Structure 1
Amino acid sequence: MSATQQLTTAAGTFRIQLQGPEGAPVLVFSNSLGTTLEMWEAQAQAFSRDFRVLRYDTRGHGASVCSPGPYSFTQLGGDVLAILDALQIEKAHFCGISMGGLTGLWLGVNAAARMRSITVANSAAKIGAEGPWLERAASVRTQGAAGMQALADSSPSRWFTEGFAAAQPAVVQQAQAWIAGIAPEGYASCCEALAKEDLRAAITTITTPTLLVAGAHDPVTTVADAQAMQAAIAGSILATVPASHLSNLEAPEAFNQALQHFLQQH
């Protein structure tokens, strides 16, 4: 397996991991708020046979650049383009979950020429309301590491179904460790980006092949959110998997199957 590396780009330095045959089509995976590129391990293993799999820690997360906030999706989407530029990748498939899914929608709207396809998992064109995101950002900035630990303690109920959390405590604990380790400034700055972004009108312009993945039990970004995006994006496909919010972790087989079937068409 390829080791992670620090990649210097025009937008800053990002921690990335590349796996799979050189010359194969590139498939980018973008993490959710409060996680790192390790969340995609099951997908990297499954897809690196046929694709050049590129994972990265989003700005403010893991070992990527943590610049002062607030961030915007113009910045987070631009980071993806900067990473592709630094690696001299002209076009790529993109798969993002939650915050990463909204990054994918931004790329579909603003950088269609660079995208072979976009997969938007457990996301929405507008995630949550502005007020709670800004309150969370302010709280984390005030409380620092203790605030991140508090989020880690409360995250399982938002991220996983009760049954999965009981059956797979090691997966849950790993996810909690990711969020507890995120820099408060980076997390807060991404919350501020989520507070402001609303692509509900813009996504009607997306012409890039689009797969929408919804978790049947997701309380954060619901099946209804995915259905709204499907209605707005011409030709988009919706797949529902038996999971809560982090569907690639809770239902990796179903997630991979839906993504594999979609990518075979594009």
Structure 2
Amino acid sequence: MPILSLNGAEIYYEDSAPEQANLPPEQQKPVMLFAHGLLWGTHLYDKQVEHFKPDYRCIAFDFRGQGKSEITKSGYDMDSLADDAIALLEALQIKKCHFVGLSMGGYVAQRVALKRPDLLQSLILLDTAAEAESPEKKAGYEKLLKAIHWLGVKRISKKVMPIMFGETFLNDKSRKQEYKTWLEHLKRNDKKGAARATIGVIERDEVLSRLPQITLPTLIVVGDEDKPTPYEEAQKMHFAISGSKLAVIKHSGHSTPVEQPEQLNEVISTFLTQVIA
């Protein structure tokens, strides 16, 4: 199992082409780094990795406290998680990458872009935001935290699904098995890890005021059924980052890589073609 010790945490990652590291730079594929959302893991991007790996070296990793990474006592604030992502790139000797981040992964991606723009070739922000959590949403997440503490993630997972997925996915009977698969992924979360990661998300500071500093090619994507980070949040980032592109994925909630993988892959592919050109 590929594990790296980074900033006091054992971080799990998956690399579609580790042999690329031994090739001369001019022969190496461009790198895509995938950062998942809260309560998920590398599996969130399975369909993106499958699509892009013929042309890109795809690296996905689990944040501390989630997936197969270590549950540490601290280090769950967004800046510390950004430092973990930077340390991962440095440990793998990745000089440049296209950074893809969804929700929590997007909060982290923005901070990496602000801290170390030299490591990024482009920034791809999925179903995310740049502002601090609103008081209303914070109160809702605090209720979720209490439920996790008293009941565990398994007992409340069905109530979390409508936050993570849009109505189209949830009501599609032909995707019932997919629903069950993702419900099982949620249930596997460790209580302590999930709680600490959630606190990190709801207590994050805003970076919207700093986004004009980002000059990287940037793609911002939002599902038209996304409730946690709706279109208005995507639009704010779009206005703040000069030259950024904004795409809306139809019939998708907060988990576009799962809900509408073909649409998303096409949007990302078009963007990357423009960046490389």
TM-score between both structures, scaled by the size of structure 2? 0.88
In the alignment, the residues of structure 1 paired with residue 64 and residue 30 of structure 2 have an alpha-carbon distance, to the nearest angstrom, of 24
- Where do 1:171-186 residues align within 5 Å? 171-186=178-193
Asked if 1:120 is matched to 2:125, the reply is yes
8 Å CA contact 1:204, 1:234 repeated in 2: yes
Aligned to 1:17: 14
SS of the counterpart of 1:211?
A: strand
* C-alpha RMSD of matched pairs (Å): 1.7
SS of the counterpart of 1:201?
A: helix
Aligned to 1:36: 41
SS of the counterpart of 1:28?
A: strand
Asked if 1:234 is matched to 2:231, the reply is no
Instruction: From 202, 208, 211, give the equivalent of 1:200.
Output: 208
Aligned to 1:213: 221
Aligned to 2:134: 129
In 2 relative to 1, CA 251–121 (structure 1 residues): closer, same or farther, beyond 3 Å?
same
Cα shift readout 1:97-156 (whole Å, capped 9, x = no counterpart): 11111111111111111111110000000263353234433442x32xx33023311122
Instruction: From 89, 96, 111, give the equivalent of 1:91.
Output: 96
Asked if 1:258 is matched to 2:258, the reply is no
8 Å CA contact 2:10, 2:64 repeated in 1: no
In the alignment, the residues of structure 2 paired with residue 86 and residue 41 of structure 1 have an alpha-carbon distance, to the nearest angstrom, of 23
In the alignment, the residues of structure 1 paired with residue 218 and residue 146 of structure 2 have an alpha-carbon distance, to the nearest angstrom, of 34
Aligned to 1:169: 176
SS of the counterpart of 2:239?
A: helix
Deviates more, 1:151-160 or 1:101-110: 151-160
8 Å CA contact 2:36, 2:105 repeated in 1: yes
In the alignment, the residues of structure 2 paired with residue 70 and residue 246 of structure 1 have an alpha-carbon distance, to the nearest angstrom, of 25
TM-score between both structures, scaled by the size of structure 1? 0.92
In the alignment, the residues of structure 2 paired with residue 127 and residue 99 of structure 1 have an alpha-carbon distance, to the nearest angstrom, of 12
In 2 relative to 1, CA 82–70 (structure 1 residues): closer, same or farther, beyond 3 Å?
closer
Cα shift readout 1:68-93 (whole Å, capped 9, x = no counterpart): 14621111111111111111112211
8 Å CA contact 1:11, 1:82 repeated in 2: no
Gaps spanning 5+ residues in structure 2: where? 21-27
TM-fit CA distance, 1:231: 0.6
AA matched with 2:177: A
Aligned to 1:5: 2
8 Å CA contact 1:116, 1:209 repeated in 2: yes
Aligned to 2:24: none
In the alignment, the residues of structure 2 paired with residue 44 and residue 213 of structure 1 have an alpha-carbon distance, to the nearest angstrom, of 18
In the alignment, the residues of structure 1 paired with residue 220 and residue 64 of structure 2 have an alpha-carbon distance, to the nearest angstrom, of 24
Instruction: From 187, 190, 203, give the equivalent of 2:194.
Output: 187
Gaps spanning 5+ residues in structure 1: where? none
SS of the counterpart of 2:93?
A: coil
AA matched with 1:96: G
Asked if 1:50 is matched to 2:55, the reply is yes
In 2 relative to 1, CA 78–11 (structure 1 residues): closer, same or farther, beyond 3 Å?
farther
Aligned residues: percent identity?
25
- Where do 1:71-90 residues align within 5 Å? 71-90=76-95
